[in-house]
Amino acid sequence: MMKYRELGKTGIKLSGIGLGCMGMSAAYGTPDNEESIATLYRSLELSINFWDTADIYGNNHSNEKLLAQVLKEKRDQIFLATKFGFALNEGFTDSFQPGATYLNGKPDYVKKAVEGSLQRLGVDHIDLYYLHRVDPNTPIEETVSAMADLVKEGKVRYLGLSECTTEHLQRAMSIHPITAVQSEYSVLTRTPEENGILALTKELGVAFVPFAPMSRGLMTATVNVNELEANDFRTRLPRYQGEYLDNNQKLAAAFAAFAKEKGATAAQLAIAWVIAQGDHIIPIPGTKRRKYLEENAAAIDLTLTQADLARIQAIVNEFPLTGPRYSSNENKFVNK
């Protein structure tokens, strides 16, 4: 049975595990809209009420349009998060093509972006609206002021930041309350611990929403790199290549062996580890298939002891050559 966690200081109870929807339309091979829609409906049956998308996911913004097919009849059951901030360069429709995007946090773009998302999603308001990445050419105060106007207008309920620094968060909160921060966080990716954002969100009562809690499938110990489609963006990630891949496959195998001892799958152990790092954390593992959704949701019942957490850290320490998150092309969009 699903357990719930409060979203920051809002008093809103969300499923302790949300659903990341990007992979239904982008980055992970050929989309399967029929199975993705079935997965969205199944998530509601499993009491997962926290969906995460972005205007940039999928060719021609297709992920928001996909969710709209379910939102039109289930809107009241879903706490809906989307994002803006990546703008497409002229001539591009797919944000995952090299050179396709640039960052835009200008106030006029904020207003344009929200109208596009509202229309594509088929809704009259967005529950949680994130700045996807901080635009280095626009003071974050200006961006957040424009976002705050959307709250006053009733188009958005709460504001969030994604992949921000502690300085960004503090500056943003001087303008308007920030309800959630989203960043990559997993057994392999510890950046939020290292840069202080995990601790600061807890201190400030801000929800922390980790994406890729299974390290983009690496920690499931089930991904065959040779079977990835050419349009799967993991084929260009350092962790899926060369000596990094060799290290990570050994790490994942040891991790999966421990998961088996716990009566769980490696994916469930990876999600449970993230949940155990703080009561303000709500991970959003992504999937486009019902069977993986069901597996992920069951992680809410896996409780880890301090001894378990120490064992996991020992496994990670044994295989330290994990590699960087992104190639140089993607890494330029990450705020550290």
Q: Could you give the residue numbers annotated as active site?
A: 57
- Residue 169 sits at the vertex; the CA angle it makes with 165 and 172, to the nearest 5 degrees, is 135
Among candidates 295, 309, 207, 216, which has minimal Cα distance to 258? 309
Alpha helices in 174-241 (DSSP H): 191-194, 197-204
Distance CA 15, CA 333 (A): 29
- 39-46, Cβ contacts within 8 angstroms, sequence gap of 24 or more: 39/287, 39/288, 39/289, 39/290, 39/293, 40/66, 40/67, 40/70, 41/70, 41/74, 42/290, 42/293, 42/294, 43/19, 43/293, 43/297, 44/74, 44/77, 44/78, 46/2, 46/293, 46/294, 46/297
213 contacts 270 by C-beta, under 8 angstroms:
yes
Of 163, 182, 186, residue with least CA distance to 271? 186
The one-character DSSP state at 89 is P
d(CA 315, CA 312): 5
- Name the E strands within the chain: 4-6, 13-15, 19-20, 50-52, 79-84, 86-88, 101-103, 126-131, 156-162, 180-184, 207-211
In angstroms, the Cα distances linking 39 to 20, 106, 169 are 11, 35, 33
CB–CB of 313/277 below 8 Å? no
User: Among 189, 137, 195, 190, which residue's Cα sits nearest to residue 170?
Assistant: 195
Answer whether 122's CB lies under 8 Å from 72's CB.
yes
